[in-house]
Amino acid sequence: MPEKPDRSAIEIRNVSKIFGSGDDQVKALDNVSVDIRENEFFTLLGPSGCGKTTLLRLIAGFDFPTEGEIRLHGEDIAPLPPFKRPVNTVFQNYALFPHMTVAQNIAFGLEMLGRPKQEIEARVAAMLKLVKMEQLRNRKTSQISGGQQQRVALARALAPQPKVLLLDEPLSALDYKLRKEMQIELKRLQGETGITFIFVTHDQEEALTMSDRIAVMSAGRILQVGSPWEIYDHPAERFVADFIGETNFLTGTVKEAGNGRARLLLGSGAEIAASAASDFKPNAEATLMVRPEHAKLVKGKGDLGGTVQNIVYFGTDTHIHVRLDGGEMFIVRQQNARSAGCGFEEGEKVGVSIGDDAAQVLRD
């Protein structure tokens, strides 16, 4: 199939959702707009209560927006009930029908669509093969493990060949190893079926490893949409940088700005130039962010001076906590080499060197 990367599968247009009324009113979604492309693994990422699940429920049809449009391939589906939308969901608790076998669960959607018996049988067989569950087709869903239930839930949602598959934190109930396996499995299924996946999670690592694009949400709004790389390396706001990965934040005043760059005067008197996520005026307050792995610790003078306070060994890398001369804490992550220490000692006077591309100036 030729790729058409610019066609939208789902367009969310100025969608708001308000629960309750009067003083108890809660704005779960606040004028949200986003385009989700065809054949994309799209993740809604944010802390609990940020509105990501509400948005998913609006797309599924379990709830209706207070305002705005939800378009599926150009058609507004916001007023349609869930059973009229070519969208299927993998539920957080799987919601498998306990009185049916694995195969009956997978066949349910196709039966409701009134597909011919032969087609249903063929499709169920294909789905069982896709999720590697052929052996267990006649088991009751209570007789299989959590990971297997997860696969059945996926097969059941994929069987009617929906235009879009919604996944509501489907991996949160699995243990660490199984979760890692299912992450790869989900990625494979998305590739093989070519269906648009919309994945909801609060786990930033999960979002980074699986997604084509991520929308970071907070308090009912989408703060940034971008590839995992863009979100991680070029966060638009402090919240995004803080939520995804570990980050050092240093506050300061803008000395000069322009052409996507800014020079910042930090509290300790040091000056650092970095790329800027938005336009700044001189003398404005701003935040400098530096990922721990993008900074380097040096003997002698660096861009910032400080004292090693703590060394934490993590196996693959070491985190060195430095108390800067200005009083802030700064973490540097250093890849470990075989049979060598990190090269620094607690209490040692050190410099922190920040490369030209390593830092970024953010709005507060």
Which residue in 16, 69, 80, 91 binds another protein (CB under 8 A)? 91
Tokens representing 271? 């000056």
Sequence-ordered alpha helix ranges (H) in the chain? 52-60, 102-112, 117-130, 146-158, 176-193, 204-210, 228-233, 238-243
Nearer to another protein, 165 or 276 (CB): 165
Least distance CB 164 / another protein (angstroms): 12
Which part of the chain contacts another protein (CB under 8 A), choosing from 34-42, 47-55, 86-94, 313-321?
86-94
d(CA 211, CA 198): 9
Residue 268's nearest CA partner among 242, 295, 306, 297 is 306
Nearer to another protein, 64 or 313 (CB): 64
Least distance CB 189 / another protein (angstroms): 18
Task: Sort strands 304-313 and 359-362 into parallel, antiparallel or unpaired.
Answer: unpaired
Least distance CB 94 / another protein (angstroms): 9
Least distance CB 228 / another protein (angstroms): 28
Nearer to another protein, 157 or 240 (CB): 157
Tokens representing 140? 């009751």
Number of residues that bind another protein (CB under 8 A): 24
Which CA distances in Å does 48 have to 169, 216, 244, 255, 298?
A: 11, 12, 14, 38, 40
Nearer to another protein, 18 or 95 (CB): 95
Could you tell me if 21 and 40 are in contact, meaning their C-beta atoms sit under 8 angstroms apart? no
Which residue in 20, 81, 282, 343 binds another protein (CB under 8 A)? 81
Which part of the chain contacts another protein (CB under 8 A), choosing from 33-41, 60-68, 119-127, 185-193?
60-68
178 is a site residue for another protein (CB under 8 A)? no
Place of tokens 């998305």: 190
Tokens representing 147? 């990971």
95 is a site residue for another protein (CB under 8 A)? yes
Could you tell me if 92 and 85 are in contact, meaning their C-beta atoms sit under 8 angstroms apart? no
From residue 109 to residue 148, the character string flagging contacts with another protein as x (rule: CB under 8 A) and all else as - is: x--xx-----------------------------------
CA-angle at 278, arms to 272 and 280, nearest 5° = 65
Q: Which phi-psi region, left, alpha or beta, contains residue 74 (left: φ > 0; alpha: ψ -120 to 50)? A: left
Which residue in 98, 300, 315, 347 binds another protein (CB under 8 A)? 98
Which residue in 88, 148, 224, 360 binds another protein (CB under 8 A)? 88
97 is a site residue for another protein (CB under 8 A)? yes
Least distance CB 112 / another protein (angstroms): 4
Nearer to another protein, 62 or 313 (CB): 62
Beta strands in the chain (DSSP E): 8-19, 26-37, 41-45, 67-72, 75-76, 87-90, 164-168, 196-201, 213-218, 221-226, 248-258, 261-266, 271-276, 285-290, 295-299, 304-313, 317-324, 329-335, 349-354, 359-362
80 is a site residue for another protein (CB under 8 A)? no
Which part of the chain contacts another protein (CB under 8 A), choosing from 17-25, 89-97, 123-131, 339-347?
89-97
Chain positions 144 to 163 lying near another protein, rule: CB under 8 A, are 156-157, 160
Where along the sequence are the contacts to another protein (CB under 8 A)?
60-62, 81-84, 87-89, 91, 93, 95-99, 108-109, 112-113, 156-157, 160
